[in-house]
Amino acid sequence: MSTTCLPATEPETAPEDIERLLALAATAAPWWARFTPSARADALVAVADALDSHSDELVTVAAEETGYAPARLSGEVKRTTVQLRMFADRVRAGVYLDVTIDRADPDFVLGPRPELRRHQVPLGPVVVFAASNFPFAFSVAGTDTASALAAGCPVVLKAHPGHLRTSAATAAIVHEALSGAGAPDGVFAMVTGRQAGVTVLRDARITAAAFTGSVRGGRALFDIAASRPTPIPFYGELGSINPVIVTEEALAERAEEIASGFVASYTLGTGQFCTKPGVLLLPRGADTDQVIDLIAQKAREITATPMLTPDIASGYEHRLAEITEAAGTDLLVKGLVATDDAGTRQVAPSLVSVASVAQLREAADVLLEECFGPAALVVLYDTEEEVEDLLAGLGGALTISIHTAREAGGTPGGERYQRLVELAQQRAGRVVFNGWPTGVAVTHAQHHGGPYPAATSTQTSVGTGAVWRFLRPVVFQNTPDEFLPPALQEGNPLRVPRTIDGEPEQVSSTTTEG
């Protein structure tokens, strides 16, 4: 998401403190894993309640530190607590355990079958690298931390240097809430510093990692995770250009609405959203120049807003210069970067046009790399085949958006666009129709990820499906009931949903949690 470089002033957690925190996490892991679904869910709710009760003071600190508006930050705290409660609901229901039982069958078609009972168990301590652009929702108590805790994994959180005071305040609240809910010491801890994060990632007690940030930074950490003596899963959400394709029918139907929606989306949060639409593909036609002029006009109307850190602003300026120096580009709107009296970098939107898909592809190494900030490309295409060829060769994206006509009676040319839809599904984790990709709903069905470089795995980092990243299946074969984990015991004392011989088990309401 971010092209920021970590500042030299970022404090480093001392090696002896890292060792102490890792030892505590390793000791806490089996205890946290044995928490019943109800008890673990209660702990997640306790964290959500504590963050809600301290929302005003957290927002005040974050507004001072990041320059984000208090209203935006309040909404982000709410999003953070909502997703904690969603994970709590799924944990309490026991769905995450994915209990599946096949009873012994001496007459099975392939020969006598043993009794097999499978469930999911937590991986163990994980390290989470916080994001720059969401100081709450993708940070200390954000989606990675929430999903790992929900799975039963202790978390060592590596704070982002862009909002250290906010992170420290949030971490203290999380730690106190978990402790008050009976969680063992070591279930959650925070470290700071680039080297501290690498040290934790390399440690043999860490079983998985989650990251939200730049392709360069994420890939470096991914390589470390893969090169350990015992490699571990690295769930990275990296970079994406999130292309938007506008069809002829859509442009004829609502050109002004599309122009307004595009500008609002790519400038949202000063362009510091991972789902920012970085490329708008428009069909070349008689009115195309007027549409581009309209987009440029609307971009000029957006006032300058601060970026998160001076380093991020500098990285944005560097990327914008690379883009505008590429052959075939035309800088339509140059958003100035200025420093106000308080020393905050204020940035206005920029807009760059590319005359053809062919020119876009010729400079793909520059133009098809994420630009973290309020800049976007408008690219003209002549045929649908051009767009299809571009998508077929495109790197993975978090989202691909397609705008078609919305008139009654269905989508004109629906069959023509079927290939476009198929390609979008191949290249992105979320396909959006007649809308904009910014705004990732926190729901059970959500998927936030995509083929590399959008992500390093096929898993989602948003929505309740994120819990599966930190679990692994274990099967018990012909095991006496007294040795089985509670979720697998014949009497189902945890009252969790189970599948037996391929059919859902009818769970008795009189069963009690053990």
Q: Tell me, what's the pLDDT at 416? A: 76
The DSSP H or E segment spanning 339 is strand 337-339
Q: Does a structural domain hold residue 442?
A: no
Q: Does a structural domain hold residue 482?
A: no
With tokens 């809308």, the residue in question is 435
Mean pLDDT per 10-residue section of the chain, whose length is 514 residues? 42 97 98 96 98 98 91 96 97 96 96 97 98 94 97 98 96 98 97 97 98 94 98 96 95 95 95 95 92 96 87 89 94 83 80 96 94 96 94 94 77 74 95 94 93 94 95 98 97 96 82 42
Question: In this structure, are residues 475 and 485 in contact, taking their beta carbons and an 8 Å threshold?
Answer: no
Q: Are residues 254 and 216 in the same domain?
A: no
Q: Does a structural domain hold residue 55?
A: yes
Q: Are residues 266 and 397 in the same domain?
A: yes
Q: Are residues 143 and 36 in the same domain?
A: yes
Question: In this structure, are residues 356 and 379 in contact, taking their beta carbons and an 8 Å threshold?
Answer: yes
Q: Is 194 left (phi over 0), alpha (psi -120 to 50) or beta?
A: alpha
Q: Does a structural domain hold residue 109?
A: no
Selection from 209, 20, 185 nearest residue 125 by Cα: 209
Q: Tell me, what's the pLDDT at 195? A: 96
Q: Tell me, what's the pLDDT at 52? A: 98
CA distance 336 to 68: 19
Q: Are residues 259 and 157 in the same domain?
A: no
Domain CATH for 403: 3.40.309.10
Q: Tell me, what's the pLDDT at 306? A: 85
| DSSP state string for 285-313 | -TTHHHHHHHHHHHHHTSPPEE-S-HHHH
Phi, psi (deg, nearest 5) at residue 216 = -65, -50
Q: Are residues 328 and 342 in the same domain?
A: yes
Q: Does a structural domain hold residue 463?
A: yes
Q: Are residues 332 and 220 in the same domain?
A: no
Q: Are residues 202 and 251 in the same domain?
A: no
Please compute, for residue 460, the number of CA atoms within 13 A of its CA located in the half-sphere on the CB side.
Answer: 20
Name, in order, each residue with C-beta under 8 angstroms of 166's C-beta and a sequence gap of 6 or more.
Answer: 58, 61, 62, 65, 66, 135, 136, 139, 140
Would the pTM of this model clear 0.85, i.e. be above it?
yes
Q: Tell me, what's the pLDDT at 56? A: 97
Q: Are residues 167 and 135 in the same domain?
A: yes
Domain CATH for 43: 3.40.605.10
Q: How many domains does the chain have?
A: 2
Q: Tell me, what's the pLDDT at 311? A: 82
Structural domain span for residue 201: 15-86+123-238+459-470
Q: Identity (one letter) of the amino acid at 144?
A: D
Q: Does a structural domain hold residue 408?
A: yes
User: Which sequence positions are flagged as catalytic?
Assistant: 237, 274
Q: Tell me, what's the pLDDT at 408? A: 47
Q: Are residues 26 and 169 in the same domain?
A: yes
Q: Are residues 369 and 405 in the same domain?
A: yes
Q: Does a structural domain hold residue 508?
A: no
How many C-beta neighbours within 10 Å does residue 106 have? 8
Q: Are residues 221 and 261 in the same domain?
A: no
